[in-house]
Structure 1
């Protein structure tokens, strides 16, 4: 380069004598030539300047700006010199190396006085291309560096020097990886080598520190090859653009978009808090804490009441960019409760319901740390540079906060960061509160559901039973699935499985109503299809009442459902006849596992779901071999979004065909195979192994419609009880049998049958062909009749009437001694 001027502010006036101020020095920095312009500027005659060190005649008061013996290329820079009389001279110095056969032998120094006013300086007339190129490099606000064919730094402008913090004289002639230990410079050096090797423009984006004492910023670097006219790579140029503002703007938009898409994908409160932290770290902060008021975490509602001092906060989630999060006493740990003074930044954030940000050196934070030095130690140990605290509010009531931190090396939180974080905190608060309220409702519904399910199944000789209930996951909530086992008269047992549509408290409450209704109707000993008809009427009535109640309100309640729907399967098994009758209302068909291991699904009419009305239900009856399995279940076990009903039934068939001898093992195998990842929808399973009652424990006698047979019946009953070893019950049983048989002969019609059953209790049954049910009445003092059923009721533990298609059966049950 050969130019007399660079940089804005340089003086272009000729000096007296018509000579530019210049000098020539040898490689030792000794003046060997001195111009008249230099004499005018500094006040030294050539005879006085030649032979003296340049630092002395320039009045630098220190070393020369470059080492003339080793510096490899031209150098441009500013120096603060002094004239002979001590006058300060701010100068622009341009050092040109002069080469001889052995290399550099002299340096030609061009000295430009920068103290003259720019406004008084005439412009350079018709500057040549060399001027323009040099001014472009020197005056460009963009950092620019030029590298030779070896990848060594040949030139860089002041902008690049300021950016890197490396003096020009120290950088020239070196590769980038030799300038600083920062890994990013090694990466840049590799990019220079790649540019020289490939001869192509390379664009590189990076977020890093370019100096150890500078904050992290975003940069876009362009590495361009410098080619000679023949197209050969002779060097490379690097131009740096600071894109931090654009980078953080994009990051803010990305974080905001991420928050809208990712926060609240589930109704699990902890998972929602985790999603919030995942959105913020590492894209926005180094670490994030989601804290909930301990009272709210335990189930209380957020209130406007003043907070207690200290404030108890439970840490739901902690997320950090560190591979191993710091475990420092005082830093909230997930699942633990931390307590903070009400006048602390966290306490004030909640009590004042406003978002705040602090630098660790802020006066406000410093004042508080003076009173609580322990927190200063925590901040220093964690290496935190700035904080941000965002209250979580619902309806203006605080229930938690988000704490964000950035460590040293990152720019502190800005006002724009605070606005973005407030938007994210608002979204997160709504979704966390939704999950919190849902979790509370789900817990209440699950508690209600489990309280309504039988806690202990009744013991009976008809079946051995095992059950499972799997509540739905958080996405759907607790549903209305239920099962029940009900002891009936005549040693029979009823098996029930049902499913109420919908989820939540309403479904659980409806399930409780239907289960109670089924138990009440089963006490009347209704056949399956008739019981489902009554149950269908009940659901229709509930829907009517719900619709009437909702229409009477100005606005519908959020906990009401537009319509109740349910499915149900009701089965009755008789261990005496070994026959099973069942009917279903839109429910999946039950499976029967025969003693030989074969599995079949009972072919029976599906029937409409409960609440449809107008369509009759039909039942089927079939014989069941002893030790067979009756498998009743809800659709959540065999059907899902990925598995159709037919596929689920085949999977169930395959599992049951290889089931173990233990009923608990059967249940475990079915659940493990069909629900490996847990239940998506509610699922109920009831497995019953059938038993047959020993024929020696059943005695039957067909009776004629003759009052004279009553005496024979008493005698026959006494003999049968003696055969069973139940002589103690002979007297009361004779009275019960006598009254029941007398009523049948007097008020009913043949055929009449008496049956005694010994099955944990003593059961007396009298059947006749009449459909008229007897009822208790109060007999007057002088009435001759009306006391028979009263005596039966007093002598029996319980009694009742069971209707059949061809008559009725009156039964009475006594406890065994």
Structure 2
């Protein structure tokens, strides 16, 4: 036989069929034995599998009658009848039959018997046999496998070594939205183009190469069955091998875990939301400064919620006019803060902080404050940009920056709309969602209360500060024998103004009264009490009273005021005697500076603060020569919360020591060196130099 020509006629398919296969396949597992009987029932062919199954070698079996060798006496008649039926051409016979093993045991074998005819017309009987228990076990395993594959809710598939589908179960058909025939012979990328097929096939090849399974790999994507929804699958890969070790391909199991993925995503989103809200509660409202609070809100929102955030407050809210919860018409905003996650042209489209901006009624931010409701554009189109930006140039900047999603939420506190928080996304590919709007609303609500507090505090502080400055003296006319400089510096924007004051009072006979005082407390009440004490001091000074008498009368006057405690230093300078008389009421001692000598604190009876009552005040005389200087100050200049007062006073003396300086420079120098942003107390400062 010309086998070369035969194989050439078969082509590639034939060569594949004729190719060798390693042992260990299903036929090897079953160990199918072949036995051939002649017409007389004698054994004429005996396969090695028959020897392994029944125990007789070919030499022991060939030529003997099968019924005598293999069948128990009680079954001989049945065997002869069945043999006769097969040889008569009445059909094949299949069934289970007990066969006597060489060792005397009886084994149940599953038979398939059929008649054979050779080219001479001679008849033979072929019997194919295998162990009945083994066959039943294989049948059960196969049936179980088929049922499990067909009825499993898990998608199952087998791919060959070229990673082409050779089997797909119904569950995977439903998952992929394609029937099995549209899978077979095709690769993963042909069937599921929405997936990252390169990574999937790379994983399969790794499994084929190493034999180590890959379990529970998460894959996200879309399928033809549900192209509009992103699904999540847990995918596992296993190498398939024949019993002899031949690699058959790779099996994959696919479990749709979209619900679990969504639940985990929602849980992560909820944790992120709670963390952001918790962060906002710590970072927003650290001060009562309006601009600082707005910056804190913008910084919290970026980049956790948006690529850029802007905080704008209605100008009417800043001026004290209540904005209705719902109204129509244009809006005037004052920009307070802008924050961006990265340098972007979109920042140029935002209103610069501190500047007023007019927006027409059709603008989205105007609609937000007019309706008191969030305004969201998940997918920004070109036409939307003109409704977001203040002008065409700003709209062009937003377009070039790639802004694709917009959200504005109102700032509402105590039922009043204060402004809006504007958010945009550009690099962040996700559009704003209703969950984002809810989160932004929570941040805005927390910040709005802080902004409202800062707004009202700012107004009260401005009122108190205006009142206090109005109560301080105007620059005095030229004084006889004295050169004077003074300063008043309020506390930081986060603290209310206090009741510190100073006064320079020209008196008769060329004398001058220098006064520095500090009313306990802060705010309008303290400023009012300070004004009353200052008025009383001016009146008492005009009566030519000694410093101690002035303080005694002030002590009686303050008893009916609120607050009712104050400290004070009263100095009466007489140029003709070159002497000053000083009395203090619980106040820090003045500093005496003499040319050629280090500065020193005057050792004076401290006295009790005004308002304590019943404590006498004493007057001390101090000589002042030409060039001498006297510094009066309130405790806000030297007191801090973390340093000892004696240490701070020593720092003050060190700063005053040195060459001659102008009084104005000395005032500025002391404030710059001793004061810090955020100081909690205001300060009054008065320095006088004796002229020649």
Same-fold status (TM-score > 0.5): yes
Q: Any conservation in 2 of the 1:205–1:218 contact (CA below 8 Å)? A: no
Out of 554, 559, 562, which is 1:535 matched to? 554
Give yes or no for the alignment of 1:432 onto 2:419. Answer: no
Q: Any conservation in 2 of the 1:477–1:504 contact (CA below 8 Å)? A: yes
Deviations 1:639-679 (A, max 9, x none): 11122211111111111122533222322332232225574
Give yes or no for the alignment of 1:260 onto 2:276. Answer: no
Instruction: Give the deviation of 1:628 after TM superposition.
Output: 0.9
Out of 483, 486, 492, which is 1:464 matched to? 483
Aligned to 1:244: 265
Aligned counterparts of 2:155 and 2:267: Cα–Cα separation in 1: 26
Out of 473, 485, 493, which is 1:454 matched to? 473
Aligned counterparts of 1:678 and 1:587: Cα–Cα separation in 2: 23
Aligned counterparts of 1:587 and 1:359: Cα–Cα separation in 2: 64
Corresponding residue SS for 2:406: strand
Aligned to 1:554: none
Deviations 1:694-726 (A, max 9, x none): xxxxxxxxxxxxxxxxxxxxxxxxxxxxxxxxx
Q: Any conservation in 1 of the 2:489–2:682 contact (CA below 8 Å)? A: yes
In structure 2, relative to structure 1, the CA distance for the partners of 1:321 and 1:392 (3 Å cut) is same
Aligned to 1:312: 332
In structure 2, relative to structure 1, the CA distance for the partners of 1:491 and 1:127 (3 Å cut) is same
Name the count of aligned residue pairs: 514
Deviations 1:392-413 (A, max 9, x none): 2233222211112233643323
Corresponding residue SS for 1:597: coil
Aligned to 2:368: 349
Out of 321, 324, 343, which is 1:301 matched to? 321
| Structure 1 spans left out of the alignment, 5+ residues | 1-25, 35-121, 141-156, 177-188, 227-236, 544-562, 693-817
Instruction: Give the deviation of 1:518 after TM superposition.
Output: 0.8
Aligned counterparts of 1:289 and 1:677: Cα–Cα separation in 2: 26
Corresponding residue SS for 2:552: helix
Instruction: Give the deviation of 1:435 after TM superposition.
Output: 0.6
Aligned counterparts of 2:254 and 2:143: Cα–Cα separation in 1: 31
Instruction: Give the deviation of 1:510 after TM superposition.
Output: 1.9
Aligned to 1:655: 655
Instruction: Give the deviation of 1:302 after TM superposition.
Output: 2.1
Q: Any conservation in 1 of the 2:344–2:401 contact (CA below 8 Å)? A: no
Aligned to 1:628: 628
Deviations 1:540-576 (A, max 9, x none): 0224xxxxxxxxxxxxxxxxxxx43211100111111
Give yes or no for the alignment of 1:385 onto 2:404. Answer: yes
* Structure 1, 460-469 or 530-539: larger mean CA deviation: 460-469
TM-score, normalised to structure 1, is 0.55
Out of 267, 270, 273, which is 2:294 matched to? 273
Out of 295, 300, 323, which is 2:343 matched to? 323
Aligned to 1:605: 605
Q: Any conservation in 2 of the 1:462–1:493 contact (CA below 8 Å)? A: no
Aligned to 1:62: none
Aligned counterparts of 1:30 and 1:126: Cα–Cα separation in 2: 33
* C-alpha RMSD of matched pairs (Å): 4.9
Aligned counterparts of 1:476 and 1:615: Cα–Cα separation in 2: 32
Instruction: Give the deviation of 1:623 after TM superposition.
Output: 1.9
Mapping for residues 573-584 of structure 1, pairs under 5 Å? 573-584=573-584
Instruction: Give the deviation of 1:333 after TM superposition.
Output: 3.2
Give yes or no for the alignment of 1:477 onto 2:505. Answer: no
Aligned counterparts of 1:622 and 1:358: Cα–Cα separation in 2: 76
Aligned counterparts of 1:653 and 1:507: Cα–Cα separation in 2: 29
Corresponding residue SS for 1:400: strand
Whichever structure has more helix as a proportion of its residues is: 2
Instruction: Give the deviation of 1:255 after TM superposition.
Output: 1.1
Aligned counterparts of 2:289 and 2:398: Cα–Cα separation in 1: 32
Corresponding residue SS for 2:493: coil
Give yes or no for the alignment of 1:593 onto 2:612. Answer: no
| Structure 2 spans left out of the alignment, 5+ residues | 1-9, 19-139, 158-171, 177-187, 240-252
In structure 2, relative to structure 1, the CA distance for the partners of 1:408 and 1:686 (3 Å cut) is closer
Corresponding residue SS for 2:488: strand
Rg comparison, structure with higher value: 2
Deviations 1:506-553 (A, max 9, x none): 22222111111111110111111111111111110224xxxxxxxxxx
Instruction: Give the deviation of 1:375 after TM superposition.
Output: 8.6
Corresponding residue SS for 1:667: helix
Aligned counterparts of 1:289 and 1:447: Cα–Cα separation in 2: 31
Deviations 1:576-622 (A, max 9, x none): 11121111111101111122232221111211111111212122112
Deviations 1:444-468 (A, max 9, x none): 2222222222221231123111112
Give yes or no for the alignment of 1:503 onto 2:514. Answer: no
Aligned to 1:285: 306
Q: Any conservation in 1 of the 2:325–2:417 contact (CA below 8 Å)? A: no
Q: Any conservation in 1 of the 2:381–2:404 contact (CA below 8 Å)? A: no
Deviations 1:712-759 (A, max 9, x none): xxxxxxxxxxxxxxxxxxxxxxxxxxxxxxxxxxxxxxxxxxxxxxxx
In structure 2, relative to structure 1, the CA distance for the partners of 1:305 and 1:258 (3 Å cut) is closer
In structure 2, relative to structure 1, the CA distance for the partners of 1:314 and 1:202 (3 Å cut) is farther
Aligned counterparts of 2:216 and 2:578: Cα–Cα separation in 1: 84
Q: Any conservation in 1 of the 2:529–2:561 contact (CA below 8 Å)? A: no
Q: Any conservation in 2 of the 1:277–1:290 contact (CA below 8 Å)? A: yes
Q: Any conservation in 2 of the 1:219–1:244 contact (CA below 8 Å)? A: no
In structure 2, relative to structure 1, the CA distance for the partners of 1:449 and 1:366 (3 Å cut) is closer
Q: Any conservation in 2 of the 1:355–1:388 contact (CA below 8 Å)? A: yes
Instruction: Give the deviation of 1:272 after TM superposition.
Output: 0.1
Give yes or no for the alignment of 1:687 onto 2:687. Answer: yes
Aligned to 2:164: none
